[in-house]
Amino acid sequence: METNNQTQIAILSTKLESMADVIDRMDQAIGRIADMNEQMSKLLAVHSEKLEKQDKVDDILFTKIDNLTDKCNAEFQIVKEGCRRDILMVKDRLQGIEKRMYMALGGILVLSFFVRPVISTFAEHLFLSGKSATIESVVKVANEPGNRRIHHPYFS
């Protein structure tokens, strides 16, 4: 039995030696994993700080954008009211001009209704009086050869 035990001890020691290499490799791998874990923790901490800073910057920017939007909306409302007021003023002026134009047109129509008989009788006497227009004398031009004087009944 003793040989059997020694054989088993020899086998176990061989297996233990081969396991020692595996254990050394596992220790090295665990060391590398620990180093990587530490580096990852540092990297995550840096990223976390950057994200926090970016969140603060974003909050500031969004606040500024909201303030600018409020200012723009307020100024837009002021301009809008000014334009509405100007449009109403122009509309009132146009309505006044339109009213005066219709009043003038009505006045002209009424005046033409009352003045038309007078104008028609005047036109009848002027154009249809029965007299014809005639030329009573001939005026000679002084520059023609042989004419020294202008003969006209009013200048003689």
Gap between the Cα atoms of 153 and 52, Å rounded: 117
Is the confidence at residue 1, as pLDDT, over 90?
A: no
Kindly report each contact of residues 85-92 with a partner whose C-beta sits within 8 Å and lies 24 or more positions away, as own/partner: none
Confidence of residue 150 (pLDDT cuts 50, 70, 90): low
pLDDT at residue number 19: 82
pLDDT at residue number 145: 59
C-alpha distances in Å from residue 64, one per residue of 56, 59, 60, 69: 12, 9, 6, 8
Q: For 97-147, what is each residue's pLDDT tens digit?
A: 999 999 999 999 988 888 887 777 777 767 666 555 555 665 555 555 565
Measured between alpha carbons, how far apart are the two ends of the chain, in Å?
186
Q: For 68-102, what is each residue's pLDDT tens digit?
A: 999 999 999 999 999 999 999 999 999 999 999 99
